[in-house]
């Protein structure tokens, strides 16, 4: 595989792994999950009763655990019929896209900069010629704030708008005022709003995470969350979505033939949340501190070595930079020469934008990997 063939962050990560280059391209938490949670999962695996198909909407212990999480950390009250277990955040997104298609929808709005895999998920449901409306935001000088003219224009033609909050790749956290305005516009136009809140546990003070579900559970608003980042459960494929009861029921009917059920480890997560919430919070805190510490260290090193200007995030596990190369791939090549793999910003904007002017890193690396990257950058300065 050559550099010109790298289309996703996973491509870049694979390219680096084959060459022994440490990568900051693909967002992975390199801290293991809580030992206590893993012990609970081991105990659950020994049960004879959890290896058949599980409840389509999620096991009761898991749903009760999610209810506790929503109430304790987000001030959100949700009934059992307003929560749907999903195969990770991606499972919730794909199911929602299929739900939109079943309702006769076909036009999807995607707020820039966007998570690259959202495009692939849209095309998986609607085909390679999917009708995607890219919704521009303001640039880094306004920290990618929503462009309301662009959003209002999109609302007139799309059936759904998908956005990530906190943002991947930007690390931007939408304000309550912005999201309230977005939901108001969507209700006027009967547009579904799908919020990918995969990083809702990763908001850096003084920023505050707000979600519309804290006030109302609307039929047209669907929030999807998971544990792959905050708890490092990337391979467990356990997530959940929150919406109104009628929408959750409709979504379950769409998700069931695609995914059948959520893996048995949902039992372990539910038990963990119900019985060991302090450990859950402590682990999230440790992951968050690692993110922020790594960003502080790595952003300075990349600035000093490559001259990239950091765009400080407010949340998530990512950070962007302004580079000085002629295009994004030249910036990636330069970073690889210095001994680190990163993502070109062009992956997060509409097609054919070869020079977005940005690069992106993830900060979920171990202390050892951070030190290895710093060593490479120092030696190749």
Nearest to 61 by CA among 245, 73, 47, 15: 47
- By mean pLDDT, which of 8-22, 50-64, 245-259, 279-293 is the weakest? 8-22
Q: What is the pLDDT of residue 34?
A: 95
pTM of the shown model: 0.94
Q: What average pLDDT does this structure show over 341-350?
A: 92
pLDDT range class, residue 71, cuts 50, 70, 90: very high
What does the domain layout of the chain look like in residue ranges? Answer: 3-30+280-379, 49-275
Phi then psi for residue 338, to 5 deg, are: -85, -10
Q: What average pLDDT does this structure show over 126-146?
A: 96
State the pLDDT confidence band at 99, using cuts at 50, 70 and 90: very high
User: In the prediction, which pLDDT does 28 show?
Assistant: 81
The pLDDT, as a whole number, for residue 177 is: 97
For the domain spanning 3-30+280-379, the CATH number is 3.90.1150.10
Strands lying side by side in the sheet with 221-226: 83-86, 239-242, 221-226, 192-196, 160-164, 107-111, 131-135
- Does domain 49-275 fall under CATH 3.40.30.10? My reply is no
Mean pLDDT, the chain, whole residue set: 93
The mean pLDDT of 235-264, rounded to a whole number, is 96
Fold match between domain 3-30+280-379 and domain 49-275:
no
Residue 7: predicted pLDDT: 65
Q: Which residues of 81-102 are buried (b: 16+ CB within 10 A; e: fewer)?
A: ebbbbbbbbbbbbbbbbbbbbe
Residue 5 binned pLDDT confidence (cut-offs 50, 70, 90): low
Q: Provide the pLDDT for residue 1.
A: 52
155 pLDDT exceeds 90? yes
Predicted pLDDT at 12:
81
Residue 64 predicted with pLDDT over 60: yes
Residue 341 has pLDDT above 60, yes or no: yes
Task: Give the pLDDT confidence score for residue 19 in this predicted structure.
Answer: 82
DSSP strand E in 5-113: where? Answer: 83-86, 107-111
Residue 351 is predicted with a pLDDT of 67
Q: How much is the pLDDT for 317?
A: 93
How many angstroms separate the CA atoms of 298 and 373, rounded?
8
Mind listing the pLDDT tens digit for each residue in 276-298? 999 999 999 999 999 999 999 99
In the predicted model, is pLDDT for residue 257 greater than 80? yes
């Amino acid at each position: 595989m050559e550099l010109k063939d790298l289309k996703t962050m996973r491509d870049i990560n694979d390219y680096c792994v084959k060459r022994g280059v440490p990568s900051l391209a693909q967002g992975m938490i390199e801290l293991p999950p809580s030992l206590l949670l893993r012990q609970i999962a081991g105990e659950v695996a020994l049960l004879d009763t959890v290896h058949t198909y599980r409840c389509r909407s999620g096991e009761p212990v898991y749903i009760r655990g999610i209810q506790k999480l929503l109430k304790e950390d987000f001030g959100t009250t949700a009934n059992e019929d307003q929560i749907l277990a999903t195969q990770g955040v991606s499972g919730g997104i794909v199911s929602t896209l299929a739900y939109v298609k079943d309702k006769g929808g076909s036009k999807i709005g995607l707020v820039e900069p966007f998570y690259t895999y959202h495009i692939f998920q849209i095309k998986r449901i609607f085909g390679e010629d999917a009708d995607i409306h890219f919704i521009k935001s303001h640039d880094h000088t306004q920290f990618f704030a929503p462009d309301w003219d662009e959003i209002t224009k999109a609302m007139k033609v799309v059936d759904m708008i998908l956005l990530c909050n906190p943002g991947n790749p930007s690390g931007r956290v939408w304000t309550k005022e912005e999201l309230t305005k977005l939901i108001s516009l969507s209700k006027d136009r009967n547009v579904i709003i799908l919020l990918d809140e995969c990083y809702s546990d990763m908001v850096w003070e003084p920023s505050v995470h707000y979600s519309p579900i804290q006030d109302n559970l609307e039929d047209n608003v669907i929030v999807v969350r998971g544990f792959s980042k905050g708890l490092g459960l990337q391979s467990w494929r356990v997530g959940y979505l929150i919406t109104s009861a009628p929408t959750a029921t409709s979504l379950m009917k769409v998700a069931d033939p695609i995914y059948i059920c959520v893996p048995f480890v949902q039992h372990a997560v539910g038990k963990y949340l119900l019985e060991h919430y302090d450990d859950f919070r402590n682990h999230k805190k440790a992951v968050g501190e690692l993110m922020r510490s790594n960003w502080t260290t790595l952003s300075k090193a990349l600035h000093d070595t490559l001259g990239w200007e950091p765009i400080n995030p407010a949340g998530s596990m990512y950070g962007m930079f302004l580079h000085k190369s002629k295009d994004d791939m030249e910036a990636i090549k330069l970073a690889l020469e210095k001994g680190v793999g990163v993502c070109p910003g062009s992956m997060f904007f509409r097609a054919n934008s070869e020079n977005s002017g940005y690069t992106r890193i993830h900060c979920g690396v171990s202390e050892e990997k951070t030190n290895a990257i710093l060593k490479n950058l120092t030696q190749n300065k």
